[in-house]
Structure 1
Amino acid sequence: MAIVDSWASARAAKQVLTLAHKLLSERGQANSLGLAHDVAGRMAALTPEAWPTVFDRLAADFNPDPAAVLRAAQAYADAPGTETLRALTEASEPPRQELFRRLNRSPGGTATLVRMRRRLLDGLKSHPDWRMVDADLHHLLSSWFNPGFLEMRQVDWNSPAQLLEQIIHHEAVHAIDGWEDLRRRLLPDRRLFAFFHPQLPSEPLIFVEVALLPEMPASIAPLIEKRAEPMPPASYKTAVFYSISNCEPGLRGVSLGNFLIKRVAEHLRRELPRLKLFCTLSPIPGFAAWLQAVRALDDLSHLKRAQRDRAMEALDRVRHHTPAALATPGALEDEALQDDLRRLAAVYLIGQTPLPGGDPVARFHLDNGARLERLNIGGDRSPKGLRQSHGLMVNYLYDLDRIEEHHEAFIQGDIATSRAVAGLL
């Protein structure tokens, strides 16, 4: 039976590739659309065993002709101009990209390509030659899922049940404990906004959850307490982005979240002019792992000698505790330990974020133009929060008038930081 299944998978992969070559050779648009629909349908039906063959051939057989690229490059070098540049661009573009464009024109083609990339990413580590296929898909998806093409919608309790089920399923930061929990997160002092694409109108691509509060919060528990009473509208002074979740793994690396947060902030500012503060309450998922891995702080060039010495002393004291002990609620009661952890968290967020291995959440918000505002001891006392960050959480402040300034500073390696956090170094 396994032999039969393997033969069937190989045959299906071969059929898809044969039709893909035929699709690229078609000149008539009508025939091309019908064939693209056939290829997309067959791709959607491929078994997991068939995909490696497809990706191998896409990587090997759909590349530019090196000789043609060389001739076009030499012609452009000899006579730079519109026509020689156009010829060079055409010669150097992988035929894969045109194949993907033709597939995208068919009904359901966009969804097929997004799901294709999801499968591709799953095997990328063990098949590095697939990276050229991923580069083409990423290039095209980044254009097709440009935020200018996306629709932002508010999700509420009256949204279709299928959409609400997807929200529960895809919440990646603070799990939603059933319908009662979701209902609380959709009451008037809580908002949920998502991006949708015209070709995937019923599938959220990414969503952000917002709490409307009197002030900047220091702990996540009250925000996600499903029995908490709603805040009166007159108390809304602060909008807190407390969770952002990607729903489509096939769009990894395509910028969506930063545009969503900015668009939601502008929307809320228009709807609720009394809002004065836009901030996050964010996890530090890489902090505990960094504490266990770091051996020296010499590569953190932003630290002065005295700051580095204080941080190393704190690190030595923290390492007297086992990782298991640091991940228990009891560690939150040790004030000296918490002072050391808070100092080291400031070192990690300010110094490590611009470097490889920096915290992904910090990188997201700081690159998005936020300011590192406040560190909160015991902000997340859940087992996950204690394990990942020893209970610490961060407030990032979104000053809507200085977002671009802070973003440009981050690009140059300079992190916008409040005096309170900078004073922890």
Structure 2
Amino acid sequence: MQRNRFLPDMLSTLFDRSRVKYKDNDPRDTAQLCYALLSEEGEVSGQKLAEVILDRYRASSDEDKLAFFQFMNEELDIDASKLAELATEYADNPSAEAYASVANESAPKRRQLLRRLNQPSGATSDLVNMRVDLLRLMKDAPELARSDLDFTLLLRSWFNRGFLVLKQIDWDAPASLLDKIVAYEAVHEIDDLDDLRRRLSPPDRRCFAFFHPAMPDEPLIFVEVALTATIPGSVDALLSEDRAPLLAADARAAVFYSISNCQSGLKGISFGNLLIKQVAKELALEFPQLNDFVTLSPIPRMNTWLLDQTSDPVIGHVAAAVLAGEAPPEDVRAMAARYLVEAKRGNGTPVDPVARFHLGNGAEVHAVHANADSSDNGRYQSGGAMVNYLYDLSVVEKNHEDFVLNAKVATSKSIKALVKAPFKTKPEALAS
């Protein structure tokens, strides 16, 4: 992919982003403009009204933003009494007209306001950023969670898979986009441009991202992929400055080693499961010789769990040894396997959030590795342990159903053996 091809190719699939600017000389306050946007005036001059409201919002202080959200939350809420009355009428006479009245009244006016605010070009990005403010201000105003439910409902609709555009990002992508990849990388920090080049330029490296037509310059989520001869057990080796690149034709495994969400305003709207499966299909078509699609993932809450196990009469001494960095690799792997398979929340799903994500996508816990991530964060989270989740495209749907319906953790034979394996570390009393 050539630099001079990226933007034309991208823009050919996306909407025109031209934006008409309107002068704000309207004497009405923002609340009055919102009511106008919801009225017949909004049917005629909706784009202008929306542009002025969004411009005012962008220029407002946190105090004014909070007042705006409180206005939406309270003044544009459901009329519960009227809805109850209409629901009673519908129960007595379930006609189409009665149903339409219930359906219309059950949708709060703020949801319609958000739809109408989305009229100007570029407004989708404004509303995503608006939700960033809402999530931040909700910490001190939890009642705004009602409004956040409406934001979430609409954003899930606007950002469904049918609108997403998958693009490969390489070293020849625009500098502004490369800067965003560096800024948004959330798993393995990119140190400098040389580090970025090592992840994008070699023939055995790929990076894919989802974009949305309304936000063509902003990646929503991206995944970094390494093409390898075997399933790797160390991110240190995978990202080493001294490694010898592999010819893509010689690869037998595609390794998803970093997945980063880019838009905090889209929190709770999952793209990762779609991205991994779509990229796996793309790579399978490009490289039919690939046998395995795996991750090399962190285990973010393993050490937190180990701290709670140090008083356990059976595994406490091993947990303490792993935390102290004194356990042999075999015991680190055995404890990691136990954590991933046996540490559960109240609803029966794994404690580990990365495990929940991949297992929910239909992957299996395939292999665990000690001394796999020597970074400060890797040591802090899991003593350097990492895990491969395997995406077997022939069984991901079955695994997904088993996990969603029964919280079943799909595991390889080696993981099952590790869960039951005896420890090499002995209690002090026995060791002496």
In the TM superposition, what is the alpha-carbon distance from 1:160 to its structure 2 partner? 0.5
Counterpart-to-counterpart distance in 2, 1:262 and 1:381: 29
- Correspondence for 1:128 among 142, 153, 164: 142
Aligned-partner SS, 2:87 = helix
Report the counterpart of residue 4 of structure 1 in structure 2: none
Counterpart-to-counterpart distance in 2, 1:140 and 1:294: 43
In the TM superposition, what is the alpha-carbon distance from 1:343 to its structure 2 partner? 2.9
In the TM superposition, what is the alpha-carbon distance from 1:320 to its structure 2 partner? 6.1
- Say whether 1:283 aligns with 2:276: no
Q: Is the alpha carbon distance of 1:320 and 1:365 closer, same or farther for their aligned partners in structure 2, counting shifts above 3 Å?
A: closer
1:353/1:363 contact within 8 Å kept: no
In structure 1, the gaps of 5 or more residues are: 1-13, 297-310
Aligned amino acid, residue 364 of structure 2 = R
Report the counterpart of residue 403 of structure 2 in structure 1: 410
In the TM superposition, what is the alpha-carbon distance from 1:268 to its structure 2 partner? 0.5
Equivalences for 1:357-396 in 2 at 5 Å?
358-396=351-389
Aligned-partner SS, 1:105 = coil
Q: TM-score, normalised by structure 2?
A: 0.86
Aligned amino acid, residue 206 of structure 1 = I
In the TM superposition, what is the alpha-carbon distance from 1:220 to its structure 2 partner? 0.3
In the TM superposition, what is the alpha-carbon distance from 1:18 to its structure 2 partner? 2.9
1:354/1:363 contact within 8 Å kept: no
Q: Is the alpha carbon distance of 1:405 and 1:320 closer, same or farther for their aligned partners in structure 2, counting shifts above 3 Å?
A: closer
Counterpart-to-counterpart distance in 2, 1:353 and 1:366: 13
In the TM superposition, what is the alpha-carbon distance from 1:30 to its structure 2 partner? 3.4
Counterpart-to-counterpart distance in 1, 2:332 and 2:40: 63
- Correspondence for 2:339 among 329, 348, 368: 348
Q: Comparing 150-159 with 63-72, which one deviates more in the overlay?
A: 63-72
Report the counterpart of residue 103 of structure 2 in structure 1: 89
- Say whether 1:249 aligns with 2:250: no
In structure 2, the gaps of 5 or more residues are: 1-27, 420-432
Q: Is the alpha carbon distance of 1:168 and 1:320 closer, same or farther for their aligned partners in structure 2, counting shifts above 3 Å?
A: closer
Equivalences for 1:299-314 in 2 at 5 Å?
313-314=314-315
In the TM superposition, what is the alpha-carbon distance from 1:164 to its structure 2 partner? 0.3
- Correspondence for 1:258 among 270, 273, 298: 273
2:298/2:387 contact within 8 Å kept: yes
- Correspondence for 1:268 among 269, 283, 294: 283
Aligned amino acid, residue 81 of structure 2 = A
Counterpart-to-counterpart distance in 2, 1:398 and 1:340: 26
Aligned amino acid, residue 368 of structure 1 = N
- Correspondence for 2:158 among 125, 140, 144: 144
CA RMSD in angstroms, aligned pairs only: 1.9
1:180/1:226 contact within 8 Å kept: no
Runs of 4+ aligned residues of structure 1 deviating over 6 Å after TM superposition are none
Equivalences for 1:177-192 in 2 at 5 Å?
177-186=191-200, 187-192=202-207
Q: Comparing 30-39 with 348-357, which one deviates more in the overlay?
A: 348-357
Counterpart-to-counterpart distance in 2, 1:81 and 1:223: 63
Q: Is the alpha carbon distance of 1:284 and 1:124 closer, same or farther for their aligned partners in structure 2, counting shifts above 3 Å?
A: same
Q: Is the alpha carbon distance of 1:294 and 1:134 closer, same or farther for their aligned partners in structure 2, counting shifts above 3 Å?
A: farther
- Say whether 1:419 aligns with 2:420: no
Aligned-partner SS, 2:418 = coil
Q: Comparing 43-52 with 231-240, which one deviates more in the overlay?
A: 43-52
Q: Comparing 224-233 with 358-367, which one deviates more in the overlay?
A: 224-233
Aligned-partner SS, 2:293 = strand
Report the counterpart of residue 234 of structure 1 in structure 2: 249
Report the counterpart of residue 153 of structure 1 in structure 2: 167
Q: Comparing 55-64 with 158-167, which one deviates more in the overlay?
A: 55-64
Report the counterpart of residue 320 of structure 2 in structure 1: 319
2:362/2:398 contact within 8 Å kept: yes
Report the counterpart of residue 6 of structure 1 in structure 2: none
User: Deviation per CA, 1:104-161, whole angstroms, max 9, x where unpaired?
Assistant: 1122211111001111112323221010011000000001000110100000111100
Q: Comparing 164-173 with 178-187, which one deviates more in the overlay?
A: 178-187
Report the counterpart of residue 38 of structure 1 in structure 2: 52
Q: TM-score, normalised by structure 1?
A: 0.87
1:26/1:32 contact within 8 Å kept: no
Aligned amino acid, residue 372 of structure 2 = G
Counterpart-to-counterpart distance in 1, 2:217 and 2:39: 34
2:124/2:214 contact within 8 Å kept: yes
Counterpart-to-counterpart distance in 2, 1:317 and 1:189: 38
1:377/1:391 contact within 8 Å kept: yes
1:286/1:359 contact within 8 Å kept: yes
Report the counterpart of residue 8 of structure 2 in structure 1: none
Q: Is the alpha carbon distance of 1:365 and 1:354 closer, same or farther for their aligned partners in structure 2, counting shifts above 3 Å?
A: farther
Q: Is the alpha carbon distance of 1:294 and 1:69 closer, same or farther for their aligned partners in structure 2, counting shifts above 3 Å?
A: farther
Counterpart-to-counterpart distance in 1, 2:366 and 2:318: 26
2:309/2:319 contact within 8 Å kept: no
Q: Is the alpha carbon distance of 1:52 and 1:410 closer, same or farther for their aligned partners in structure 2, counting shifts above 3 Å?
A: same
1:314/1:340 contact within 8 Å kept: no
Identity of aligned residues (%): 43
In the TM superposition, what is the alpha-carbon distance from 1:47 to its structure 2 partner? 2.2
Q: Is the alpha carbon distance of 1:238 and 1:354 closer, same or farther for their aligned partners in structure 2, counting shifts above 3 Å?
A: farther
Q: Is the alpha carbon distance of 1:358 and 1:117 closer, same or farther for their aligned partners in structure 2, counting shifts above 3 Å?
A: same
Aligned amino acid, residue 266 of structure 1 = K
Counterpart-to-counterpart distance in 2, 1:168 and 1:52: 32
2:364/2:390 contact within 8 Å kept: yes
